[in-house]
Amino acid sequence: MGKGKALVSVEVRNGDINRALKIFKRRGFDSGHLQEVRDRKEFTKPKTKRREDLQKTAINFFNSQKILQLNL
């Protein structure tokens, strides 16, 4: 995967595979490996990435301004 990301591993205790699988799924999701695999399935142009980031930033700014107005 990416640089600096540790591999996900889980120790099975007392033969409880269901618990270990649950922990493995959670750690795999939290580590970002799954998201990276999804992102690499298809190429996204740098311009598209920048546009999406700007849109997210604008939405976050708008929502924060809206919350500030409601608190006043």
Quote the mean pLDDT of the chain.
89
* 57, amino acid identity: T
Q: Looking at the whole model, is its pTM more than 0.85?
A: no
Q: What is the mean pLDDT of residues 56-63?
A: 95
Check whether residue 33 and residue 61 sit in a common domain: no
Check whether residue 36 and residue 53 sit in a common domain: no
* Whether residue 8 has pLDDT greater than 90: no
Check whether residue 25 and residue 49 sit in a common domain: no
How does pLDDT run across 24-38, given as a tens digit for each residue?
A: 999 988 988 888 888
Check whether residue 33 and residue 63 sit in a common domain: no
Check whether residue 50 and residue 64 sit in a common domain: yes
Specify whether the CB–CB gap between 38 and 19 falls below 8 A: no
* Whether residue 2 has pLDDT greater than 60: no
Check whether residue 2 and residue 35 sit in a common domain: yes
How many separate domains does the chain show? 2
Check whether residue 36 and residue 50 sit in a common domain: no
* Whether residue 72 has pLDDT greater than 80: no
Q: Domain residues for 65?
A: 44-72
CA–CA distance, 68 with 72 (Å, rounded to integer): 7
Q: What is the mean pLDDT of residues 38-57?
A: 94
Specify whether the CB–CB gap between 8 and 28 falls below 8 A: yes
